[in-house]
Structure 1
Amino acid sequence: MVEQDKRYKEYPYKEKVGIRPVSWEVFHRLCKGLVQNIAKYDPDVIVGNGRGGLMAATLVSHMLQKDLFPIRISRRENNVIKHERPVWSVLPAKDLKRKKVLVVDEICDTGETLNMITAKCWEMKPADVKTAVLYSRVKGQGIPDYIGVITEELIVNIWDSEIFDQAAKKFKFHPDYITGFQMQSLEIDDAFQLKIKPIKIAKGQVENK
């Protein structure tokens, strides 16, 4: 199950309908689709929200050849829900003044996080601020300027579908996704199990006893 402080609202897995796996190829195609439409706006800088938002923000910034400024605002700490509302840990760069800003995040649920980021960016007196997300729920679709996919499905991203179990010393399917599947009474089939073996690193190799 998803770890969280019981005082705070859990992630709405019960509201998800269906599963949508996102491979590296699909992720790349989504970013290309966003960039094709963002190009006309021609932002001066990209502001990417970590963690998941930085995946898209990094690729978009490379494709548009623009500088990327990472930020961090979330209800979570080390993947555990700790706050009722999103909390800032890394603020936007101060040199946004008179620049066209593109904020990139992974998903828009209610729009609260995206609205807080936008408001904070406007405090830096930019020329303009627009927002882009890979995914949005139906109720949040009015917030971002650019959306890759509007869906109520549980998104299973390739980049966070596995975690490393320190005790077992092995990789396993992310517990959050397991919870999401269980909420829909779905089985996790082989299609969702990554069969990618780690490469032996060049330096710092630890021998498992």
Structure 2
Amino acid sequence: MNIKIKLLAALKYRANGNEVIDIDANSWKDALKKLVNIYPELSIAIESDGTPKAGFMVFVDGVDYRIKDENEEAKEIYLLPVNHGGIEALLLLWEDIEKEVDTIADKIIKSDYKPDVIISILRGGVIPGRLLADRLDISDIGSMEIKLYIAAGQKGERPYMRQPVTLPIKDKRVLLVDDVSDSGLTLNFAIQAISLYMPLEIKTATLYVKPWTRLVPDFYSKEVDKWVVFPWEKKEFEKEAKSMHDLIIKSSK
């Protein structure tokens, strides 16, 4: 069975520059084992048993590998660095954020969607939400906080609401804002959660989306496959980057 493996971000440089590799294998896990045998430098991301190492993620036919049987067949595999654990970073400046927000605001205006309130997902959505409120002349700005956890006996992360919506949104048009739609788990859960407050309509906006996300927002500026480092999280980045010897930093400038 032919399985297509896609290497995202800087991982291709550990496979002679190949971004897409076809492997003949019986299962997705078998394919990853063979991949490391062919390209030993990819052992930075994959264990000898075919599972991803800390800081990396595998999606099998669009599904988190942790909820797939290891002997299950597959057509397509994504291997990628995850947020705060990747090997290639996109360092953003404040002026980059201003440009992305302008792009999103223009898209919202052209769509004729007129939000009554902005709800930002803590923490990443707070600054983009405030900037969009300024561009769209929206005075009502609220927030909500969602965390991910792995419960006992479960496979994969599960979201939960740590802080409920801080503004009344019943019968209002809501613009739900976050910084990045990565896996899409947080954004999808947030939509379900605020739907319980009976808003008139919900639209979503993020500055960036990842190519593997399972929820593409209604409005976004760009698709990126790197570890996005925002100007308001420089210290966090510096702290984590110290432990990553293979980090390749690419500035947006």
Task: Give the alignment's TM-score, normalised by structure 2.
Answer: 0.58
Residue equivalent to 1:186: 247
Residue equivalent to 2:64: none
List runs of 5+ in structure 2 lacking aligned partners.
1-52, 58-79, 150-155
Equivalent residue in structure 1 for 2:239, among 171, 175, 185: 175
Residue equivalent to 1:25: 95
1:54–1:105 contact (8 Å) kept in structure 2: yes
Secondary structure of 1:47's aligned partner: strand
- Taking a change above 3 Å as real, the CA distance of residues 177 and 131 of structure 1, as seen in their structure-2 partners, is farther
Higher CA-based Rg:
2
Measure the CA separation in 2 of the matches of 1:10 and 1:90.
28
Pairs within 5 Å for 1:115-194? 115-140=188-213, 142-162=215-235, 174-179=238-243, 182=245, 185-186=246-247
Post-superposition Cα deviations, 1:51-71, rounded to whole Å, max 9, x if no partner, equal: 111010111112212111011
Q: Which has the higher contact order (CA 8 A, sep 6+)?
A: 1
Residue equivalent to 2:147: 74
2:90–2:249 contact (8 Å) kept in structure 1: no
Deviation at 1:178? 4.0
Aligned length in residues = 165
2:118–2:142 contact (8 Å) kept in structure 1: yes
- Taking a change above 3 Å as real, the CA distance of residues 111 and 187 of structure 1, as seen in their structure-2 partners, is closer
List runs of 5+ in structure 1 lacking aligned partners.
1-8, 77-82, 164-172, 193-209
Matched, 1:90 2:163: yes
Residue equivalent to 2:137: 65
Amino acid across the alignment from 2:187: L
Q: RMSD value over aligned CA atoms?
A: 2.7
Amino acid across the alignment from 2:131: L
Q: Larger deviation: 45-54 or 15-24?
A: 15-24
Post-superposition Cα deviations, 1:24-57, rounded to whole Å, max 9, x if no partner, equal: 0000110111111112211110000111110101
1:156–1:177 contact (8 Å) kept in structure 2: no
Identical aligned residues as a percent: 26
Amino acid across the alignment from 1:38: I
Measure the CA separation in 2 of the matches of 1:46 and 1:186.
35
Measure the CA separation in 2 of the matches of 1:47 and 1:55.
11
Secondary structure of 1:138's aligned partner: coil
Deviation at 1:177? 3.9
Residue equivalent to 2:182: 109
Amino acid across the alignment from 1:160: E
Measure the CA separation in 1 of the matches of 2:101 and 2:214.
17
Deviation at 1:75? 2.7
1:141–1:150 contact (8 Å) kept in structure 2: no
Deviation at 1:157? 1.2
Task: Give the alignment's TM-score, normalised by structure 1.
Answer: 0.69
Matched, 1:44 2:108: no
